[in-house]
Structure 1
Amino acid sequence: MNYDLIVIGSGPGGYVAAIRAAQLGLKTAIVEKESLGGICLNWGCIPTKALLKSAQVFEYINHAADYGIKVNGAEADFEAVIKRSRGVADGMSKGIQFLMKKNKIDVIMGYGKIKKGGKVEIKTADGSVKEYTAKHTILATGGRSRELPNLKQDGKKIIGYRDAMVLPKLPKSLVVVGSGAIGVEFAYFYATMGTKVTIVEFMDNIVPVEDEEISKQLARSFKKVGIEIMTKSSVEAVNTSGELCKVSIKTESGVKEIEAEVVLSAVGVTTNIEGIGLEDVGVKTDKGKVLVDKFYKTNVDGVYAIGDIVMGQALAHVASAEGIICVEKIAGHHPEPLDYNNIPGCTYCSPEIASVGYTEKKAKEAGYEIKVGKFPFSASGKASAAGAKDGFVKVIFDAKYGEFLGAHMIGTNVTEMIAEIVVARKLETTGMEIVKSVHPHPTMSEAIMEAAADAYGEVIHL
């Protein structure tokens, strides 16, 4: 019952931290109230990518004639698509079980709560309570779908992302409230499957955290496939008393009412910090986040926090990196603090979006004199051959020293291309070094080299 480390939460922050701790010789246990792998593996990153792959396959089949192939009578079996997604998630969760056994990590199923004196209380599903002792405890309890007061989720007509993954049938119409990654991924999935989709976004552009040119390109691509987009708009109320939801939307020109079978609330996530003992132990929080130092130690000795419940981007790969840094520090190593300005963000709608570093606007606001280069996929041989000419790569360099300030991409498979920029920025690569690094032809990734060349007036294929 005594451990060097207990990790509460087994998402991509928690399970990665536990594995790294075991590798470093710490006697480790992990606590999980639902399914190993947390939201990411069971209800987030992984099952949504399975759904999106089904949508992409369906889209390919529907456009097979563009590639010289005739296909007749293709139809989507919505239940089978959902079933496949759940199967993928279950397989990944079983993979985490294997990793726990392999690394000799004790898995304790139940609800974990920290107590004074390095104690962790765990309440199991049958109501029994056990107490464990740990020299160190990492809180990795993640987040859940945020609920707005005027958009209370009932799981049937007003739903969150979990419900959106397991709807019993394909809705004829859907209003998506919020156009962050979750919102636009589901908008693309359902629109491709045949649902009439409307996106409502409060900000000036969809995917508002992205570079403005990326946002505008995605809006163009979405409109081409029939997705309606309402920006500078907010859902004021939803009347669910009838067969269809009556959605009142405040726009610049007044209040509009539209009808939809289902309303998906995708207005972000809120942290799971209630009921885990923070107040009892005296752990400091601010605006729903646990306060930590650069190695994720809280103000209470022996208590640490990582992932969505601390400041920083609420992304799986961020949580994993934080978990590794936290554990290495606990084990007496000297890890580098995480550079939160070099975290890639990826959105898996179609076309995909990937970005890292400064947007053009933020670079200017930071006082940089900049060089900007762009290369459209319409000029890429590989993109033309693949029938994927939508989108572009945009790169931003500091004009004085050539520092790689940021990159923003929209197009097919760009989420697989962004890592080059992350590594380049980590290694302090300059713009001309990218230009002079030979990229393979024909590939989508050539667009990075071409965009960098465009920034320096040396682009060949434009």
Structure 2
Amino acid sequence: MTTDVMNTSTFSENISVDNEKDETIDNLIEEQKQEVESEKYQFDVIVIGSGPGGYTSAIRCAQYGKSVAIIERDLIGGHAVNWGCIPLNSMMTSARLIRSIHESTRYGINITSHRIDFSHITRHRDEAVKKIRSQIKFFLNKYHIQVYIGTASIIDKNHIIIKPIQKYTYANVYDTDGRSPYESDDSSIPIRTEIEITGQHIIVASGVEYELPKFVEINDKRTVDPTQLLWHRNIPESLIIIGGGVLGCELASLYGHLNSNIILIEKNSRLLKFMDEQVSIAVETRLKEIGVEIILNANIEQVSNGKVIVQLRPTNTNRTVSASYVVVCTGRKPTFNYENLEKLGIAIDYERSTIIINEQTCQTSIPTIYACGGIVSSCWSWVPCAIRQGHLAANAICKIESDINENNRKLYTANNPAIPFVINVIPAVASVGEIPKLTNDVLIYIFKFQSNRRAIIDNQTWGFIKMWTTCDEPKRFLAVQLVHEFAAEIIEYYSMIISLSK
């Protein structure tokens, strides 16, 4: 009988070889996992900000086959959709109906009484915001755009670190039903740990935010920014608005029609100083008709607990006014730290507080980084300009050629003069083009709606159109500004005319 004796050294060698094979396989599997994990965070385009410029550029890049990630520190849609013009305009719809009720007797309809139900006004506002936000999310999902909810920091020309959100911008805001908009927004889940992502191109569309000036006390609960005012659950009995620019005039018109007692304070000699003087006077006239008190040439000395001390120029006398709330509409600031961007090599225009870009491509001084929206534009037409700039950035990244020639080259720039904008006061104000310096080569035409047949039929004769044209034939439209109930609709025609002018 023969007994086989196993060689222990050979057995050990076999085990060692098998272990080495297993380790090699494990290493390969781990490397493959890391490669897959790494690919998850690599994109053709990374967009910072999901506002009009951000989601427009992201969707357009995805439509042309690019892999896209979008980073948002708040709610999808950005400030304009969630906290700015969309909620304001939806509430302004109610204000216009109130105005129509007051004027209904002119049409043979006698409405003896009406009651303002502010809870229904705000519910309409909330529903409008949610529907528009849902539409944006639908298209982001349709084009497989990866959404990250967090705060973005640009490391270099291709890398971004996303950190978890410490605090939402308006964490103390609640809708009509007492719910936080963040809690009811279940489709945008914030990241929980810090991650790094890579992109061949980066588009900065982080937008702007309200800036409270130094004269406002930090813990003053009766001094608010426009968003905090819009999300207030009740109509303020009285209101002081600091700033007679676009937002200040819009809020004065809105809450004036909601029967608040309004005081509007402006440091300049007239409202809407950047607009034509006749337009400013028209807006001032209509605000006074609804009971708004306007204080011009006023410096703010102190704001505290609903009281404002103003110094009146040129008399240098002080006056104290008080109200339930003070809303500050004196300006906005970029959400990005410009000093950090400058360290990366991005050129900054500190005088205008904007990023310097190529007007045709929205490219910054770093070739792989683009910028659009409020962070680059000082024009008042923020949303239309942001959308246009988003298209330009996406076209440049995807190498889509626009139909540009020397005659219309300026119309394909980031600050297109043919992009109109509307100021949502009642009646509305609209503008398109750049008002030229008055020379012998410029003609001015003024058309009053009193002589327009349709305006007479509709009883909408209040207002005018002011036009600036060239003297040469055929005349070219340079700029148009108007005041009328249907200004938003009318201005589109003049925008088209200016676009087609050679």
Same fold (TM over 0.5): yes
Runs of 5+ consecutive residues of structure 2 not aligned to the other structure? 1-40, 166-190, 403-411
Identity %: 25
Partner of 1:183: 248
From 283, 286, 294, give the equivalent of 2:349.
286
From 92, 96, 108, give the equivalent of 1:52.
92
Partner of 2:183: none
- Alpha-carbon deviations, 1:94-126, whole Å to 9, x = none? 111101011221111111111125111111346
Partner of 2:498: 425
RMSD over equivalenced CA pairs, Å: 1.9
Cα distance 1:45–1:121, how it changes in 2: closer, same or farther (>3 A)? same
Partner of 2:236: 171
Partner of 1:327: 394
Partner of 1:299: 365
Cα distance 1:423–1:200, how it changes in 2: closer, same or farther (>3 A)? same
| Residue 72 (structure 1) shift | 3.2
CA distance in 2, matches of 1:53, 1:197: 19
Amino acid at match of 1:418: I
CA distance in 2, matches of 1:385, 1:157: 45
| Residue 79 (structure 1) shift | 2.6
From 466, 481, 487, give the equivalent of 1:414.
487
Partner of 1:380: 452
Cα distance 1:266–1:377, how it changes in 2: closer, same or farther (>3 A)? same
Farther-moved stretch of structure 1 (329-338 vs 142-151): 329-338
Q: Does 1:403 align with 2:476?
A: yes
- Alpha-carbon deviations, 1:33-81, whole Å to 9, x = none? 1111101111111111101001111222233223221223311112321
| Residue 379 (structure 1) shift | 2.0
2:308·2:320 contact (CA, 8 Å) conserved in 1?
A: yes
Amino acid at match of 2:113: G
CA distance in 1, matches of 2:219, 2:448: 43
CA distance in 2, matches of 1:393, 1:376: 6
Q: Does 1:363 align with 2:437?
A: yes
Alignment of 1:39-438 (within 5 A): 39-116=79-156, 118-125=158-165, 127-152=192-217, 154=219, 156-240=221-305, 244-253=306-315, 254-274=317-337, 278-279=341-342, 281-287=344-350, 288-294=353-359, 295-314=361-380, 315-335=382-402, 336-359=412-435, 362-364=436-438, 367=439, 369-401=441-473, 402-428=475-501
2:48·2:206 contact (CA, 8 Å) conserved in 1?
A: yes
Helix, strand or coil: the match of 2:417? helix
| Residue 18 (structure 1) shift | 0.4
Runs of 5+ consecutive residues of structure 1 not aligned to the other structure? 430-462
CA distance in 2, matches of 1:228, 1:148: 23
1:23·1:103 contact (CA, 8 Å) conserved in 2?
A: yes
CA distance in 1, matches of 2:377, 2:89: 26
Amino acid at match of 2:262: V
Partner of 1:32: 72
| Residue 280 (structure 1) shift | 5.3
CA distance in 2, matches of 1:235, 1:75: 36
TM-score by length of 1: 0.87
| Residue 389 (structure 1) shift | 2.0
- Alpha-carbon deviations, 1:294-351, whole Å to 9, x = none? 2222222311111111144151010110011011011112334345333312101101
Amino acid at match of 1:196: N
Cα distance 1:286–1:275, how it changes in 2: closer, same or farther (>3 A)? closer
CA distance in 1, matches of 2:329, 2:217: 12
